[in-house]
């Protein structure tokens, strides 16, 4: 019901959807998610069903597991820092950077905690990674771990919006994230930068699993 008791002060802003997004809106075809539909659905604070978010996490985790620990990428590429659960800021950033279909992005971690929409950030980025696996790259930040997500708010967000199983699956996805990237053989992308104790030629010491 849009406004069952006629108490919405800003009536042009639609209320959050009552039910999860349906299968016809979730998928564009058998091999691709409908990114635009999902982005708009989440913008209204809509949810995916438990089965659908589990399926998305599992499929994206499999893609991440097949990637090396250190990605070897070429420009042009847009480098994005911490998002920290700010879904609406992520949309503004993507409006500036262009769509995933025609632009390459690398996200440097810290997708979760602090902001209230960490799950929404991950859903959109996992959908983008699944649809455009060679244009969207996700590496691990220090918040993509069990201790910080428990200390901050991501674990609680998962349990409120879904349950502990979804949280556990996100942790397994985080375990599979690459740790860094080398762009054009010379630019190192890491979430936390390079330690002062590292005094060797970085390019000769980067290894892949």
Pick from 142, 134, 72: which is nearest to 111 by CA?
142
Tokens at 207, concatenated: 């290894």
Contact 70, 207 (CB under 8 A): yes
Q: Could you give the dihedral angle defined by the CA atoms of residues 31, 123, 36 and 115, in that order, rounded to the nearest 10 degrees?
A: -170
- Give dist(CA 122, CA 2) in Å, integer: 27
Look up 191 and say whether it is catalytic.
no
State the DSSP code for 12: T
Alpha helices in 44-106 (DSSP H): 50-65, 87-97
Tokens at 30, concatenated: 């058998």
Catalytic residue, candidates 84, 143, 155, 191 = 143
Alpha helices in the chain (DSSP H): 23-26, 35-43, 50-65, 87-97, 118-131, 146-151, 154-161, 164-175, 202-205
Q: Catalytic residue numbers? A: 143
């Amino acid at each position: 019901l849009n406004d069952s008791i006629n108490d919405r002060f800003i009536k042009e802003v639609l209320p959050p959807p009552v039910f999860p997004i349906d299968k016809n809106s979730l998928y564009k075809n058998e091999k691709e998610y409908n990114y635009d539909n999902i982005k708009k659905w989440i913008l209204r604070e809509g949810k995916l069903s438990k089965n659908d978010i589990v399926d998305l996490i599992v499929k994206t985790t499999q893609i991440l597991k097949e990637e090396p620990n250190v990605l070897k990428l070429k420009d042009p590429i847009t480098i994005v820092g911490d998002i920290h659960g700010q879904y609406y800021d992520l949309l503004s950033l993507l409006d500036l950077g262009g769509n995933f279909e025609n632009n390459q992005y690398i996200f440097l971690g810290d997708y979760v905690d602090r902001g209230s929409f960490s799950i929404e950030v991950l859903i959109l980025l996992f959908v983008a990674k699944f649809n455009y696996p060679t244009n969207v790259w996700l590496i691990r930040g220090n918040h993509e771990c069990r201790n910080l997500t428990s200390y901050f708010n991501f674990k609680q967000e998962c349990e409120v919006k879904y349950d502990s199983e979804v949280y556990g699956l996100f942790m397994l996805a985080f375990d599979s994230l690459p740790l860094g990237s080398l762009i054009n053989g010379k630019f190192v992308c890491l979430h936390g930068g390079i330690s002062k104790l590292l005094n060797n030629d970085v390019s000769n010491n980067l290894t892949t699993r």
